[in-house]
Amino acid sequence: MEDYPFGEGLAVFKVGGRMFALVPLEGSPASVNLKCDPELALELRDRHPSVRPGYHQNKRHWNTVDLDGSIESGELGWMIDHSYELVVAKLPRAVRAQIQTG
């Protein structure tokens, strides 16, 4: 679900009422903040210059990914899925069941 709790300039994507992606609607290059496993977050930052600690987020659990074309779409899609799955895994069981039957 897309929401704008921080104003019209920042699209927030949620699952079960919790954020998994934040997309600033202005700026160049475009970017997205994604939740990430802390160890994997460090690995991705080491591997990709366009992945950095999450801007205005908990830098241990969030990455900002610059959408400058340096990361292949398949890997970016995987990062988005990983963020979504991390958030879903922390939701109460009843909410997870409702999402799965959706």
Check whether domain 2-101 has CATH 1.20.1440.230, yes or no: no
Whole-structure pTM value: 0.92
Q: What percent of the chain has pLDDT over 70?
A: 99
Residues 6+ apart with CB under 8 A from 90: 18
The neighbour count for residue 91, using CB atoms within 10 Å, is 16
The model's pLDDT over 43-84, given as tens digits with 9 standing for 90+, comes to 999 999 999 999 889 999 999 999 999 999 999 999 999 999
- Ordered by start, the domain boundaries in the chain are 2-101
Residues 6+ apart with CB under 8 A from 58: none
The pLDDT assigned to 102 comes to 60
The model's pLDDT over 13-52, given as tens digits with 9 standing for 90+, comes to 999 999 999 999 998 999 999 999 999 999 999 999 999 9
